[in-house]
Amino acid sequence: MSVESAYVQPKLRYAWLWWAIGYLLLAWTVNDSLESHPPDFGGLFASDKVLHFTGYFLLATWFGGVTRRSRYWLVGVLLIAFSGALEIAQGLMHNGREAEWLDLLANALGVTSALIVASLGLGKWLVWIERLLGLQK
């Protein structure tokens, strides 16, 4: 196996489905971020910063699985910008939610951490899922 081929992610047969699910996850994030009462996960998360980190880690992990490795930087920029836009919207809506810089920092750290993990080889997780389920040609 050449070094170059190690960095090329095999094509996903159902990429359209994985992208659609990703967009639904983004819509869910918008809803949860802008509703007047944030979701309560029964004390599962020690602080809301852990929740922010985890949520954006999962989003970046998802999009890292459907995106070529060469585009991870774009995924990171877009998710952090998305996060910033939601924080600004929270501050402008005056519905009991506040924009917080520490939330944005936790989100950015979650995105960055997930994309580092993806870069180390785990970004192919959706390819592995398709193979496991017999969906690859």
Phi, psi (rounded to 5 degrees) for 9 = -80, 130
How many Å apart are CA 137 and CA 87, to the nearest integer?
Answer: 42
Q: Which pLDDT tens digits describe the chain residue by residue (137 residues)?
A: 444 444 455 688 899 999 999 999 999 999 999 987 766 656 655 688 899 999 999 999 999 999 999 999 999 999 999 999 999 999 998 887 888 999 999 999 999 999 999 999 899 899 999 989 887 76
Q: What is the pTM of this model?
A: 0.85
Contact 66, 23 (CB under 8 A): no
